[in-house]
Structure formats: structure tokens, C-alpha cells
Amino acid sequence: MSLRAEGPPLPDLPARFGAFRRHAPATPEPAPLGAGGGASRQLAPAEGAWAELAAEASFLYRDGVLASVRLARRIPRPPGLPVGPLPALAPALRPAGVRPPGASAFLWFDLETTGLGAGAGVKAFLAGVLREEPGPGGGRELVLIQHVLPDLDRVPGFLSEVGRDLGEAVWVTHNGRAFDLALWVDMHVLAGLRPSAPLADLDLLPLVRSLWRERLGSVTLSRLAREVLGFDRPGDPGGGAMPETYLAYLASGDPRWLAPALEHNAEDLLALYGLTHQVAQALERPPTDWPTADLLGLARLRSRFGRSPEPALAAALGAARSPGERARALSAWGRALKRRGDYDEAALRFEGAVREAPLPSPEDLLELAKHYEHRARDLPRALAATERAIGVLRVFAAPGRAEAARRRLEAWDRRRRRLIRRIGRLRPRPQPLPSGEGGRPRPEEAQDAAPGDRLARDERHVPEPLGARPGDEPPEVGAGCHGRLDARRELEAHAHLGGFEAAHGQAQVGSRPHRDGRPRPADDR
């Protein structure tokens, strides 16, 4: 039985959609607005109820029916609000490569909707726009404009009126790319209109996640306003209560039911405005009074934007209040130096992180093991780092991930065995010993002939464990994967390494002499 449907072929859907976009009507020209709140004409009773919600109220009528309500008010800039250079956020704009706009080109945009999901049934009933405008005395003041959808069948007039206040600017949103802007386009398409497009859009959610999610967990605007900006929002019903607010208005016809929604939208826009300036200011000049977790997030964000993360990392190290925080800052600094190609300085930071951490990170130990083996040519220290990482992984394996832990331990064990083999290659060829009476070696010669046996009983020759503090008890050699069975072999390898260097000087690790004693080039096997 064939699953192929019989009949004419399907039309080219992308081409049909493009034709629909080309022939869609332009945004309709709205009828003249009647001004309320001090207007020359007498307000209708319904208009008077709306005018109580804002100092400036305007009304859009179509065919004698109220199609949109525009409420405007001027807001004083909250005290203590940061002011940052907004062009510093240009790398986060979409589309990429937009020329950094001036601060006056930014506006803040937020929608309140009839539901928190997606689909044709979800509509925006309140659109808030916040912008800066010149104020009296040459300063800058904030102008808040809020558009309300009077009824669910008046969407075209509502959209056209909001689009007038948006214009060509940089729209700053919180999760706008996944929700607000997507819903804005969907509503236009369903209404048969061309959506107004921004000059560029800036979604602040990825930026605030990078900076504050590790410390705060939730990065909602209300949480960020309280924890980062210090603005309390008492009585805020939250975004989840907005659909009920609008339904109460539709059922009663009294716009005063929308007062909580208008206030919530205004506070969201103020928080969005303050956070935008806070992020821009931190990118330009890293603060010194932030917690270490926030400064580490700032370092990652600066790296993503092509800026040096080291000022933020230095501030994070200075703000650390515990050995664990210092270890995290040193580890992040080491990775930044490694990306820059400064491997020796990076190794110093990783060593500091291993010393400071109550429990060293296997990733930091891996960086040290690779550096000692391939760059510093210090195989005993590479082996010590490997042994310590194996011990950490065996004790603190994540529950429920036994298979991943087993594969990780196998990789570390292969590295360990390879290092032991490379150290073993440094053993010089045995030389015939002078004989004493009766062909037997003298006692002192026999003693020199078995350095591995002697050192197996003397653990003072074992390299000091990596990152150990003075007074710490050294761990058992060979306790990483195979217990005491490998202790003798490791000690013999270290003994041969010491004997070879004493006999032939500071030869490079990994080299063997010719039969006639001439040194060979370094062997990286």
C-alpha cells in the first residue's frame, strides 16, 4: 500500500507566502485622534473613565467605534539609576553588524498578553513603549506610552497606533525574540497587515542570564529589579495575573480594572531600562563591588563581545571571600590566558586554583597535566596531576552517571599509563659492573645496582603531590587506579629518571643517548 497521496502537487508555499507579503495592504492610516485630559472637546463618559488612568489620553475611532486608547505620562528618572553608554551593547544587536546607534535611537518595548503561551488565540492587549526625550533645563526625562486594546475585535487599529510610536529604532526587550516580537509579527499576519520592523532589536535576556542567573537563579524583571537595581515592587501581581485583569475589564467595561496591568507594565519597562544601562556600564568599566559570581559572568560576556575579560577577572579575584571563589576566579583567568596563547601564565593560574580549591577541579588538573607533559616536559609533575585527578574522580563521581564516569576514568588511566611508559624510557642501558674477588660485585656496587629496590623502601624520593600545602600528608603513590600494585613500578621509574639526569646532565625529557654516549634529539613519543 502506497502512502503517497494522489492528486495535484502542493503549491510552492514559500513563494505563495512571499506573494501574500507583497500584496498585503500597508498599515492603515488612522483617523484623527481626539485628545483627552485637557482637550478642547468634551470627553465622552467612556473616555473620561480612561482619562483617569493617565495625564494624557488619546482615542482612536474607526467607523464610530473606539479602536485604540493611547495613555502617556512623563516619569522622573528614579534616583540611583545607572547611566551607561548604550552603544557598548552593539555586539548584541540583531541583525549582526549593525552600526552602533546613538543612545537616542533606543526604546524599550514590552507586551502584556491574554496568555503566556503561543498560538493564534493569544493576543497582546497592552503595549508599553518607554523612550528618553529632552526635558526642561537640558536634561533627559522618560516618556511612558501605553496602548490598550479596547476589545478583541479591534486589533488592526490597535496595531497601527502602536506602530506609530515605535518607528525605526532599536527595540530593547526581555525575551523579545522568543515571545514579544514573535507575537507582534503573528498578530500583524493574522490581521492582514505588514508588521512594523525595528532598526535592530536587543534582547536583554541572554545578557542578564550570563551575568546574574548563577547567583539569583530566576532572572525575571521583578527579581532583577529588586536584587540588582534595588527597586522594590510592593503589590505587583506579576505577569501571570495579567490575563485575569483583562478579562475582568472585558466583562465589566470599566477601564479601572486595568490599573494593575498598567502599573505592572510600567515597572517592567523601568526595570528593563535600568538593567540595559547597568549592563552597558559594566561592559565599559567592570565594577569592583559586585559578587564574584556576577563578575565571572561579566568576564564571559566581555569575551563574547570581543573585549578583554581580564579586568573583570581581576575584580572577581579581589572580591572573592572564600578559597572556593578564589579558585574559580583563578581557573577562569587561566582559561582566558590560554585562549590568548599565554600558556606559562595560564599554568600559574591553574596551579593557584588547585592550591586554593578545597577539592581541585579535574578540568584544572587536566590543563596542568597537558602543560607539564607537552610544554614544560616535566613528566613527574604531569603524572602527579594525573594521579590527583583520578583520585578526585573516583571519590566524587556524579551519581546516576556511572557510564560517563567510567569512560572518563579510563581516559585518565590511559594518560597515566602513557606517562609511566615515557618515564620508563629514560632508564639508561645497564652497564657491566666491575667485579670483585671471585667475580662477585663489591657490596657498594651491588647497592648502586638496585636503585629501584632502595627507593621502593624510601618514599622521600616520590614527587610532592601537586597543589599540596605545607603540613599535608602525601597520598599513597599509585592509589589512583591500581592501588599499591603499581607503587614499585612508579618508584623505579622515578629512580631511573633521577639516575639518568645525574649521569648525563639536564637532558630533555623523552630523549635517549646513542650507544656511544652522544645525546639524541628530544623524542615526544
Residues 419-439 pLDDT 10s: 999 998 876 656 665 555 554
Asked if the model's pLDDT at residue 177 lies above 80, the reply is yes
Band (458; pLDDT cuts 50, 70, 90): very low
Radius of gyration for the alpha carbons in the chain, expressed in angstroms and rounded? 35
Question: How far, in Å, CA of 313 to CA of 323, rounded?
Answer: 15
- Residue 142 corresponds to which cell in the numbers above? 522618560
Average pLDDT of the residues in 227-236: 84
Q: Which residues pair with 62 in a beta bridge?
A: 65
pLDDT category, 469, cuts 50, 70, 90?
A: low
- Which residue carries 525575571 as its cell? 220
DSSP structural state of residue 513: B
Q: Which domains does the chain have, with CATH numbers?
A: 13-23+47-280 (3.30.420.10), 358-524 (no CATH)
pLDDT at residue 31 is higher than 60: no
Which residue has better confidence, 480 or 382? Answer: 382
CB atoms within 10 A of CB 311: 16
From 217-221, 279-283, 498-502, the region with the lowest mean pLDDT: 498-502
Q: Detail the DSSP E strand segments found in 294-447.
A: none
Q: What is the mean pLDDT of residues 284-308?
A: 94
The overall pTM is greater than 0.85: no
Contact 111, 127 (CB under 8 A): yes
Neighbours of 256 (CB within 10 A): 13
